[in-house]
Amino acid sequence: MTTTGSSHDQRVALRGRLDVSTVGDVRTCLHDLLGEGTGDLLVDVADVDVADATGLGVLVGAHRRAERLERHLVLVGVTPKLTRLLRLTRLHRILRVRVEAAAA
């Protein structure tokens, strides 16, 4: 995980597996960032290789925590594979996904 930005403009990049073996650290990081800042928390998932139900559950939990804090958790860099998984699980209806323009 790599975090950047100020307390108002936060971004965290997740890398590797988002599964039962990593969710503890990811959950702690997301909850800490949500508690510290304001505005949207951008979660870059472009380099996430594998996501299982536990990993998706952490994202949903962080999304709900963000709503309670009157913030938004926004997924960016969503790969086609993760997009299919979000659609299959219908989480695309719950989680916010932002499509970013490719760098020129």
| pLDDT tens-digit map of 16-55 | 999 999 899 999 999 999 998 888 999 999 999 888 999 9
What does pTM read for this prediction? 0.86
Beta-bridge partners for 47 = 15
Give the pairing type, strands 72-76 and 2-5: unpaired
Q: Tokens 């995980």 map to which residue? A: 1
d(CA 24, CA 100): 28
Q: How confident is the model at residue 100 (pLDDT cuts 50, 70, 90)?
A: confident
* pLDDT value at 101 more than 90: no
